[in-house]
Chain A
Amino acid sequence: MDEAIDVNGCLQRWKKGDESAAEELIRHLYPVISKIVRTHLPRRDDEKDLVQEILMKTFSRLHQYKGDAPITHWVSRLALTTCLDRLRAQKIRPEVRRSDLTPEESDVFDAAWLTGSSPDAGDAIAARDLVDKILSSLSPEDRSLILMVDLEGRSLQEISETTGWSISKIKMRLFRVRPQLRQMIHKLEERK
């Protein structure tokens, strides 16, 4: 992705005050940041503001970027850290009850767990809201970890590079979080 623009050239031009270089960088980094924010933050959060905040952080810390890895990797880590900070700052929600689900979410849950019917493309938003609710009882780090593994299918090595956590720490977290997730789903089933 970094080959699409001359990142080093842009950085040099930006240091000299060339605003068009900043614009190129913003357009280049936007898809990467948007993807991370959309994945790691609940759907209803204002992602546009957060993407802008991450871009501001990126520009204020550009002097720390050494250029030994693609800038998208460096920015991904910054974006993920910012998302985790945002999640930590949010009020911790109590565990989700069956009665907390909207009728649409309830239908999606029934379809997935009770009737085992095949996914319907039309209820993606309800499914996403249900995913967010199920994951809301987990810590921000565990939530992001589950999404990186189960949704994005990333390897432990990739997760380690993005988060800075050791492989053993990731394994330990996964080992601990799976039963929590299972327990959460069981509780939703019981309250039917």
Chain B
Amino acid sequence: MNTNEDKNWHDLLLRSTPTFAGETVPPYGFVTGTLARLRTETLQQEEFERIGWRALLASLAALVIAATVTLSMNYMDRGGDFEPGVRSLVQMENIQVS
């Protein structure tokens, strides 16, 4: 901005200065309201954390169960000579396999 415009701009800002001053003391009820909101949000956060931990533990338990079942089935099937499809056919037709 040139000097004159610069001065005008600063004059305008100077004129508006009082409206930029912040408050030094919170308005009536503000602190109480903020504390209440803070309390609610803290409780919510704790609840979310609890739910999160429970969900995590439940997922881990499900994973362990699934792994155990898979491994035990695999162990049980280890002695078979046939693929699962062939074995079911053999059982269905009652074919004697020596």
Q: How long is the Cα–Cα vector from A30 to B37 in the complex, in angstroms?
A: 16
Residue from B16, B20, B23, B34 in contact with A26 in the complex, judged by beta carbons closer than 8 Å: B34
**Number of B positions contacting A (CB below 8 A):** 32
- Asked if B23 and A34 make an inter-chain contact with CB atoms under 8 angstroms apart, the answer reads yes
Contact with A along B17-28 (1 / 0, CB 8 A): 111111111110
Q: How long is the Cα–Cα vector from A112 to B11 in the complex, in angstroms?
A: 7
Q: Any chain A CB within 8 A of the CB of B13?
A: yes
Q: Any chain B CB within 8 A of the CB of A168?
A: no
Q: How long is the Cα–Cα vector from A78 to B63 in the complex, in angstroms?
A: 41
Stretch at the interface among A86-94, A95-103, A118-126, A157-165: A118-126
Contact with B along A20-61 (1 / 0, CB 8 A): 001100110011111111110001000010011001100110
Q: Any chain A CB within 8 A of the CB of B53?
A: no
Given contacts A59-B38, A60-B41, A119-B11, are A52 and B30 in contact (CB under 8 A)?
Answer: yes
Chain A residues within an 8 Å CB radius of B20: 35, 38-39, 128, 151
Shortest Cβ gap from A42 to chain B (Å): 11
Q: Any chain B CB within 8 A of the CB of A113?
A: yes
- Asked if B26 and A27 make an inter-chain contact with CB atoms under 8 angstroms apart, the answer reads yes
Q: Any chain B CB within 8 A of the CB of A150?
A: yes
- Asked if A150 and B13 make an inter-chain contact with CB atoms under 8 angstroms apart, the answer reads yes
Chain A residues within an 8 Å CB radius of B21: 35, 38
Chain B residues within an 8 Å CB radius of A185: 1, 5, 8-9
Chain B residues within an 8 Å CB radius of A130: 12, 16
Q: Any chain A CB within 8 A of the CB of B87?
A: no
Q: Any chain A CB within 8 A of the CB of B35?
A: yes
Q: Any chain B CB within 8 A of the CB of A170?
A: no
- Asked if A23 and B33 make an inter-chain contact with CB atoms under 8 angstroms apart, the answer reads no
Q: How long is the Cα–Cα vector from A31 to B26 in the complex, in angstroms?
A: 8
Which of A65-119 touch B at CB < 8 Å? 108-109, 112-113, 116, 118-119
Q: Any chain B CB within 8 A of the CB of A182?
A: yes
- Asked if A128 and B23 make an inter-chain contact with CB atoms under 8 angstroms apart, the answer reads no
Q: Which residues of A contact B (CB under 8 A)?
A: 19, 22-23, 26-27, 30-39, 43, 48, 51-52, 55-56, 59-60, 108-109, 112-113, 116, 118-121, 123-125, 127-128, 130-131, 150-151, 178, 181-182, 185
Q: Which residues of B contact A (CB under 8 A)?
A: 1, 5, 8-27, 30-31, 33-35, 37-39, 41, 45
